[in-house]
Amino acid sequence: MSKTLPNTKSAEQDVAHALSRVLQAALPMALCVLLALWLLGSVFTARGAGTAEGFGTFDYAAFGAVPVSEDGRVKPLDTLARNTLLQLSGKQSLVEEMLLPGEGDEGRPAIVWLAEVFAQRPEARQRAVFRIDDPDVLGLMGLTVEDGKYFSMDQIAPHLKAIEDQAQLALDLPDDERTRFQEHVIGLRSSVGLLFELQVGLRPHVLPPTAEGEDWVPLANPGTGTLAELNPAAMDRETAVSWAELVSAYRADDPGAFNSRVKAHRRLVDGEVPDKAGKASFEQRFNAYRPFVKSIVLYLLAGLMGLLGLLFRPMLSPGWARSVWRSGVGVLVLALVVHTAALVVRMWLQGRPPVTNLYSSAVFIGWAVVVFAVVMEVISRLGIASLAASIVGVATLFIAHNLAKDGDTMGVMQAVLDSNFWLGTHVITVTLGYAATFFAGFLALLYILLGMATPVLDKKSARLLSGMVYAVVCFALLFSFVGTVLGGIWADQSWGRFWGWDPKENGAIMIVLMNAIILHARWGHLVRDRGLMCMAVLGNIITAWSWFGTNLLEVGLHSYGFTEGAMTKLLVFAAANLVVIGIALAVPTRMWWSFRPKPRPTGEPRSPKPHPAG
């Protein structure tokens, strides 16, 4: 660092100084404006982005916005295509393995595949959309794992009899006595069945009601299960004709006719159910916009800037430190805006409070943590809360992305859960409790990691951070307690039992107890900062258990596949947290890099460590 002499300021230096101040102010603003333009611009280009019109001249985007009813909910074909393909293959679009020779290697949207299925085009049978991992199931079809992961209907068809026989054997067993092979055979059979039902017109319910009291109906007769016999309920619906025309135009490979028939069909459907059609159309654009992917990108960017800002803070002038901090927080706020908008859109589409299943709980936990963090960041200006929030934001959205493989993320609610009042009170509060406990835990992790492995956690920051963790734990206790008791009250209102010691209730009360322990230990001065942090990290493990572990237990002892892996991941997460706690407790605080007693500076005097906010 160059040493400037106080009284010899030249005009050039003045200009340089002014310029750097302008740059410092401009950096966050420019970054945010650019990103905001990107986000806004995508709104208008989203229609094409996810549903690409480029394959042939078929207007897949318009086709994808056609509303149908499936699994009790009206949704656009685009959502149906993504969810179904996800169920069969674990992918949301046609990836390289599923493309046919001559189609290049650029992936295609799922809606292309769905159109082929409806039209019973040969491509639908040739595309390798069934993912089969189990070596024994592959063996049943004379294949091995070397043959790949994805298989087509044409490859499976010769072995349908064997699959059906094995599946029937397996279905006769109680579900906790089936082997891994049997579970997978049943899975494959239901995937094949799903494709069959789509092909013959049993799924989805494509024809909207034409009068009050009527319901959506499928094209095929559910009684006979083939298209050979049209559903009697569909006979007098105009949309049956327009749908059939649309499908046959696709079968005939006639883009012009297809595109006009899609428009005609949509006009009819819009006329019957304008509200639902509007929502479905919006949902298709929502899918195409991929808000959660954008949020992940922004969280990553914010996290990276936050980390760099923290690590290089000692080398930056106060002005630049503040500028970098502002940029990071700005990006975080932008991410939060997208995240919030997506959450609100989902609520509007579903007509429900934000948390209705495991998927939406992940989305909501991430959102709540970021909200907490932005508030904390504005108060503390340490750059640590926003870093923790970025990590949690990325992690939860990533988890949500994986959970989406279970099916429709906006599925209907079981009767007993179908209460917007309780979903809006108990579920929200208890999920906020999870979020706050995680936030405290991740702040504590950062405290330990930054304190040990970097020099950036000075005394003042450490004290502020520990105050933050304490405050967040207070909120966590409040939310988790109120949420748990509200859950009890819901149970009392629904089946007359306030507390039943079931796994989910137990998980919630464990979080309450953990937070109570932390606060009592702190109030009684039984722990200091390091102890507080270790306990807060322990809170991470308990919250993860309540969130996922209890769900995993319900599938019983003999579960295989995804859940087995999930329990392992949970254990790894717990072990990682325990390792951090172990190291934090093993290494005395005075040996932590940040808290090491500083040797008296002997060389040139250094300016006091700048705070990012000056």
Partner 1 sequence: MALPRSPYNPLTHLASLRLTLVLLSLSIVLIFVGTLAQVDHGIWWVVEHYFRSLYVWVPLDVFRPVFWPGRETPWDVSFIFPGGFLLLGLLVVNLIAAHAVRYKVRAAGGTLVVGGVCLLVGAGLYALTVALPTLADMIQQDVMLMLGIWALPTALVTAGAYLLFGGRKGGIVVIHLGLILLLLGEFVTGLAADEGRMQITERGSSNVIMDVREVELAFITPAADGRERHVVVPEHLLERSAKTGEPIEHPDLPVSVSVDGLMDNSELRTTGFAGGDLRTVDFAAQEIDTVSGTQADRSDMPSAYITLRGGGETLGRQLVSVFEVVRPIAFEANGRPWRVVLRFKRTYLPYAIQLHDFRNDTFTGTQVARNFSSDLRVVEPGGSAREAYVKMNQPLRYDGKAFFQAGYLQHPLNRNTGTILQVAENPGSWIPYLSCVIVTVGLCGQFGASLFRYGKRTAAQGVR
Residues 288-327 within binding reach of partner 1 (CB under 8 A): none
DSSP H stretches of helix in 404-458: 420-422, 428-453
d(CA 35, CA 23): 18
d(CA 226, CA 229): 6
Among 129, 139, 35, smallest CA distance to 86 is for: 129
Number of residues that bind partner 1 (CB under 8 A): 78
Look up residue 193 and give its amino acid.
Answer: G
Single residue of 267, 520, 528, 609 touching partner 1 by CB under 8 A: 520
Among 24, 596, 611, 590, smallest CA distance to 314 is for: 611
By C-beta, is 46 or 532 nearer to partner 1? 532
Look up residue 288 and give its amino acid.
Answer: A
Among 299, 321, 317, smallest CA distance to 308 is for: 321
Find the binding residues for partner 1 in span 535-554 (CB under 8 A): 542, 545, 549-550, 553-554
Q: Which stretch binds partner 1 (CB under 8 A): 161-169, 203-211, 352-360, 583-591?
A: 203-211
Single residue of 27, 143, 521, 578 touching partner 1 by CB under 8 A: 521
Q: Give the shortest CB-207-to-partner 1 separation in angstroms.
A: 11
Single residue of 1, 315, 526, 586 touching partner 1 by CB under 8 A: 526
Find the binding residues for partner 1 in span 41-70 (CB under 8 A): 69-70
Residue 109 contacts residue 290 (beta carbons within 8 Å)? no
Helix, strand, coil content of the chain in percent (nearest 5): 70, 5, 25
Torsion of CA 214, 218, 220, 222, to 10 degrees: -70
Q: Which stretch binds partner 1 (CB under 8 A): 94-102, 127-135, 352-360, 518-526?
A: 518-526
Look up residue 319 and give its amino acid.
Answer: G
Does 211 help bind partner 1 (rule: CB under 8 A)? no
Single residue of 241, 379, 453, 575 touching partner 1 by CB under 8 A: 379
Find the binding residues for partner 1 in span 402-431 (CB under 8 A): 412, 414-416, 418-419, 422
Q: Give the shortest CB-193-to-partner 1 separation in angstroms.
A: 15
By C-beta, is 127 or 313 nearer to partner 1? 313
By C-beta, is 303 or 507 nearer to partner 1? 507
By C-beta, is 203 or 339 nearer to partner 1? 203
Does 171 help bind partner 1 (rule: CB under 8 A)? no
Among 259, 254, 258, 219, smallest CA distance to 237 is for: 219
Look up tokens 């906010």; give the residue.
Answer: 613
Q: Give the shortest CB-571-to-partner 1 separation in angstroms.
A: 7
What tokens were used for 112?
């292309």
By C-beta, is 300 or 567 nearer to partner 1? 567
Look up residue 491 and give its amino acid.
Answer: A
Q: Tell me, rounded to whole angstroms, the distance of Cα 177 from its chain centroid.
A: 33
Find the binding residues for partner 1 in span 61-120 (CB under 8 A): 69-73
Secondary structure (H, E, C), 129-193: CEECCCHHHHHHCCCCHHHCCEECHHHHHHHHHHHHHHHHHHHCCCHHHCCHHHHHHHHHHHHHH
By C-beta, is 312 or 421 nearer to partner 1? 421
Does 514 help bind partner 1 (rule: CB under 8 A)? yes
Single residue of 386, 559, 577, 594 touching partner 1 by CB under 8 A: 559
Single residue of 105, 213, 501, 601 touching partner 1 by CB under 8 A: 501
Find the binding residues for partner 1 in span 427-456 (CB under 8 A): none
d(CA 111, CA 108): 8
By C-beta, is 73 or 159 nearer to partner 1? 73
Does 194 help bind partner 1 (rule: CB under 8 A)? no
Among 572, 567, 473, 468, smallest CA distance to 514 is for: 473
d(CA 177, CA 558): 7
d(CA 205, CA 217): 5
- Which residues 6+ apart lie within 8 Å of 124 measured at CB? 113, 116, 117, 153, 199
Q: Give the shortest CB-474-to-partner 1 separation in angstroms.
A: 4
Does 353 help bind partner 1 (rule: CB under 8 A)? no
Find the binding residues for partner 1 in span 470-489 (CB under 8 A): 470-471, 474-475, 477-478, 481-482, 485-486, 488-489
Looking at the DSSP bridge assignments, the partners of residue 217 are: 207
Q: Give the shortest CB-375-to-partner 1 separation in angstroms.
A: 11
Find the binding residues for partner 1 in span 255-294 (CB under 8 A): none
Looking at the DSSP bridge assignments, the partners of residue 93 are: 109
